[in-house]
Amino acid sequence: MNTSLHNYMKVGTIHHVSYPFTGGDESQKLVSLKKLLTDGFFEAIEVGHFYDPLVRLQAIGMLRAAHVEAIAFGGQGITLGAGLNVNDLDDARRNKAVRALKEGIDEAYEFGASYFAFLAGKYAEDTVEQSYQALVSSIRELCAYARQKGGMGLEIEVFDFDIEKRSLIGPVDRVVRLAEDICPEFSNFSIQIDSSHIPLLHETIEQSVLPVRPYLRHAHMGNAVMHDPSFPGYGDNHPRFGYPHGENDTRELADYLRVLLDCGFLNEKDRPILSFEVKPQPGEDPDLVLAGAKRTLMDAWRLC
């Protein structure tokens, strides 16, 4: 493509993935957030949970001062970190997961986020239908809660179903079924995809993207290692593009962009958020990894 990629998308990145926080002083998150907010390449920022309410207020103030309007909130860590499951067959545990996500929705509204993302939990094959119905119940409750607070959208992110996250959502036929069950009742519900998860789902780009296009509002770009558990970065670890034994590099990202263009997701009229989910692996510099992601995107765009 000869025209600017920014004409077709709001490029973003996930703050807590690009700059994983490992220290005790949460205010250090603000240092890396400022790096992103002063980089004009990014029109969108995806944030996660801030435990310290004072640091959270500072982060919100920084986003507003930088005039970032495309904000998304990743709530996946809320349930993953606490071992909660929104499709738990135990109602007490499922309700605990729903309550935790409602608190996340409250926080996302504080940030002024356009989207709040979460994921389905693990399941057993012999009770897959019961897990699915539990998930539907949880999503209906969450969508109703978010809708009565304002106009923010809720997204379920598609993850692997048999490698690491082992999420109910999940293979594309189940993703489409869920969207068809929820979207007629809740217009604030949609699907989020990630190019790093497509290989982990054993699907092609077209198989993963095209059936869910009517329900797609927001997408991620990333890489995965999946062929050998002994390889560094194996599973849902979002290594950089070009990582050894990785599935996605410039050519694969170009194929992903081309499909998103051809189906109309990437467009000039209503530019969607397309964010990096690329995490520095042990020993790697986060700034260099993010710079490499930007170069890969620009090179892939030229191939479209």
Task: List, for residues 58-106, the tens digit of each pLDDT value.
Answer: 999 999 999 999 999 999 999 999 999 999 999 999 999 999 999 999 9
pLDDT at 23: 77
pLDDT at 275: 98
Structure pTM?
A: 0.96
Q: Mean pLDDT across the stretch 288-301?
A: 98
Q: What is the chain's mean pLDDT, rounded?
A: 97
Helix axes 91-111, 128-149, angle to 10 degrees: 30
Give the whole-angstrom CA distance, residue 301 versus residue 304: 5
For the chain, what are the domain ranges? 5-303
Query: Could you please report the per-residue DSSP string of 226-270?
Result: -S-TTSTTBBT--PPTT-TTBS-SHHHHHHHHHHHHHTTSS-SSS
Per-residue model confidence as pLDDT tens digits over 111-134: 999 999 999 999 999 999 999 999
Q: Mean pLDDT across the stretch 204-226?
A: 97
Kindly state the tokens that stand for 3: 């025209």
Residue with the two structure tokens 């490499």: 292
pLDDT at 22: 76
Kindly state the tokens that stand for 8: 């077709």
Query: Could you please report the per-residue DSSP string of 161-225?
Result: SSSSS--SS-SHHHHHHHHHHHTTT-TTEEEEEETTHHHHTT--HHHHHGGGGGGEEEEEE---B
* CATH class of the domain comprising 5-303: alpha beta
170, 132 Cβ separation under 8 angstroms: no
Give the whole-angstrom CA distance, residue 278 versus residue 100: 26
How many of the other CB atoms lie within 10 Å of CB of 264? Answer: 11
Percent of residues, the chain, with pLDDT higher than 90: 97
